[in-house]
Amino acid sequence: NWGDVFEATRLIITLGVIRPLLTILRDLGWVSIAACILCFGFALRQPSLAVLSCATLILIAAIGYWDKLLITFNLVMIGTLLSLFV
């Protein structure tokens, strides 16, 4: 009885939240995201963490796993926001 409701909810979340957010992250590019992580680490007064995080992102982009990282990050971020909402 609830199949239609669950399917509609899945479509709304997929088409209205997950795909647009993934498009935004892809449009930003790895350089700007790595720079934001670097600046965020320095803002927290953790320069070693900032450099290590930025270097890790650059390494992930260099070996070709950037798209898979964005998909994983997107799903984790959406799941975290949904759990905070609940």
Tokens 């997950």 locate to 18
**What digits encode the pLDDT tens for the residues 11-68?**
998 999 899 999 999 999 999 999 999 999 999 999 999 999 999 999 999 999 999 9
- What DSSP state is assigned to residue 63? T
- Contact between 29 and 69 under an 8 Å Cβ cutoff? The reply is no
How high is the pLDDT of residue 12? 92
Q: How many domains does one find in the chain?
A: 1
Decide if pLDDT at 82 tops 90. Answer: no
- Contact between 60 and 33 under an 8 Å Cβ cutoff? The reply is no
Domain membership of residue 13 as a residue range: 3-85
Where are the strands (E) in 1-86, listed by range?
Answer: none
Tokens 């953790």 locate to 46
- Contact between 74 and 22 under an 8 Å Cβ cutoff? The reply is yes
